[in-house]
Amino acid sequence: MRRQLRLRRSARGSVTVFVLGLTVAAVGFGGLAVDAWRLLAARRGLSAVADAVATAGANGLDPSSLRAGGARLDPAIARRLALEEFAHQRAMVRDPSVSVAADTNHVGVVLRERVSLSLLGILAGRDDVTVEVHAQAAPLRVP
């Protein structure tokens, strides 16, 4: 009987330590999940905007190419259309930087956005991460 009583006394507080450990782990995983979701949401939003900007730029066809039966881009028109679309889409993302490159065959768009982190920032020693997406579009002549 005395032996059982001693075992019970030595086990006192072990449940508290176990629950405390589980709580810390749950909060940690929750913080990591929030940061991961922030990064994924930023990437998804940037990707949608980059696709829209590249597609708008691919509408900048060279009129003389169309008359000749082709589908070549005018790089200046394509870039202007892409940047105009970016101005319309800018509200969809927080503070992006944009780079548009156009030639006679395609339009390329690169968007970058800095995403602030909470728990991952503490663990990695950084406050934010840059998310970058690329999109490309080309005109297609359909007979």
126 against 107, higher pLDDT: 107
pLDDT at 5 over 60: no
User: pTM for the complete prediction?
Assistant: 0.77
Calculate the dihedral angle through the C-alpha atoms of 16, 22, 27, 31, rounding to the nearest 10 degrees: 160
pLDDT at 40 over 80: yes
**80, amino acid identity:** R
Q: Given pLDDT bands bounded at 50, 70 and 90, which one contains residue 128?
A: confident
pLDDT at 64 over 90: no
- Rg over CA atoms, the chain: 27
Q: What is the pLDDT of residues 70-95, one digit of tens each?
A: 888 999 999 999 999 999 988 888 87
User: Mean pLDDT over residues 22-27, rounded?
Assistant: 87
